[in-house]
Amino acid sequence: MGDTRGNGDGDTGRSTQDRIAAARAGLDPLHVPVMLDRIVELLAPALDRPGAVLVDGTLGLGGHSEALLKACPEMRLVGVDRDTTALERSAARLAPYADRVHLVHAVYSEIPRALDEAGADLADAVLLDLGVSSPQLDETDRGFAYAHDAPLDMRMDRTQSLTAAEVVNTYPVAELTRVLRSYGEERFAPRVARAIERRRAQSPISSTRELAELVRESIPAATRRTGGHPAKRTFQGLRIEVNAELSILESALPAAISRLAVGGRAAVLSYHSLEDRATKKAFAALTADTTPADLPVPLPDRQPELRLLTRGAEVPTDEENERNPRARSARLRAAERVRPARQ
């Protein structure tokens, strides 16, 4: 498909506002994906041509992909998700575009395999919308939310074996402390881990309500009065551990970018500092001139592979935050491939 990409500037005679209007046409106003207009603005120029390929590595309900399929009527979608329920729902949502859609049950670090299965050598755009999806939060039996009582599960891929209950009830205190401190950024991680150890010695901790209440009791009263629900950091840490989110992201970004065509674009939506830091690091590694400092001239094969499309991390508008509180923590970074991948 390399002969259909054009020159990478995406100038097909349609304005950005035309693409955004097309993308939004018919969307449910109550379920508009996070930073949709900006995602379309950033990715559509690389996709608005015959045969262009978008890889949505975290398909979810398919909202971003649906918008881009509308905005770019000649592109193809390779939709990837580890959650089989999400794939079923997005397949129904994207049914009007079925002839341009290929869905793959995989973790987004397996984007190269997904492209191979779809018969595509390279991607013209890659989108990663990280973290837990709204349906996963809203389906109480998934165990992601501390606001509902449910089994301690937290698996994005329910075909895997490790659950939050296993982490909570079997990890040594030192390991629990590491998970809560490193992934949940919980400053009272040792106190919470010891409280968990005492409780599970009496009987296994099996529900989100029991864990949330235990965490609340472990946090000093003065701290509980600010910063939202006391259990949110513990739940974040457990979710990241159960789903290996950070290790997958650290391998997924280089893997996805390695299959990005020259002129292709990658966009990543993060929802906490650990994800955003990993994204920033991955982009920085490929936007730098790596010519040794002691050489007098830049080496052609050490020039940057990417150029940044965003200045730092962009955030949702105040209007979007009012409309969709779940967007408040979003951070968006995007880059464009300007040179072939280094060999």
Binding residues for S-adenosyl-L-methionine: 62-64, 81, 108, 129, 136
CA-based end-to-end distance of the chain: 21
SS3 of the chain: the string is CHHHCCCCCCCCCCCHHHHHHHHHCCCCHHHCCCCHHHHHHHHHHHHCCCCCEEEECCCCCCHHHHHHHHHCCCCEEEEEECCHHHHHHHHHHCHHHHHHEEEEECCHHHHHHHHHHCCCCCEEEEEEECCCCHHHHHCHHHCCCCCCCCECCCCCCCCCCCCHHHHHHHCCHHHHHHHHHHCCCCCCHHHHHHHHHHHHHHCCCCEHHHHHHHHHHHCCHHHHCCCCCCCHHHHHHHHHHHHCHHHHHHHHHHHHHHCEEEEEEEEEEECCHHHHHHHHHHHHHHCCCCCCCCCCCCCHHHCCCEEECCCCCECCCHHHHHHCHHHCCCEEEEEEECCCCCC
Q: CB atoms < 10 A from the CB of 325, how many? A: 9
219's tokens:
């946090």
Binding site, by residue number, is 62-64, 81, 108, 129, 136
Contact 110, 58 (CB under 8 A): no
